Amino acid sequence: MKDEYIKPTFQTKRYKSNEVVRCFDRYQQFLYVKHNAYPVDMYVDSRENLVMVFDKKETKDLYEKYRKYELK
């Protein structure tokens, strides 16, 4: 699955697996969307968790703030 194109479930734009991050935490998902970072894909995994897939470059700053508990 390394560097292969993946067809998203609900959008037509394809992405490479190394260009995205998968977010499992619901609160982190909420904060990203609240700050206008929208998923490029989403799916339900085998444990029935909602997984949102975000562009890695677009969410880098948000992730750094989230890690430091600064993203509100």
> Is 0.85 topped by the overall pTM?
no
**pLDDT score for 35:** 96
Higher pLDDT, 9 or 42: 42
CA 64/CA 71 separation, integer angstroms: 9
SS3 of 2-71: the string is CCCEECCCCCCCCEEHHHEEEECCHHHHHHHHHCCCCCCEEEECCCCCEEEEEECCCCHHHHHHHHCCCC
pLDDT greater than 80 at residue 56:
yes
Q: Say how far apart CA 39 and CA 54 lie, in whole Å.
A: 5
Task: Give the mean model confidence (pLDDT) for residues 62-70.
Answer: 97
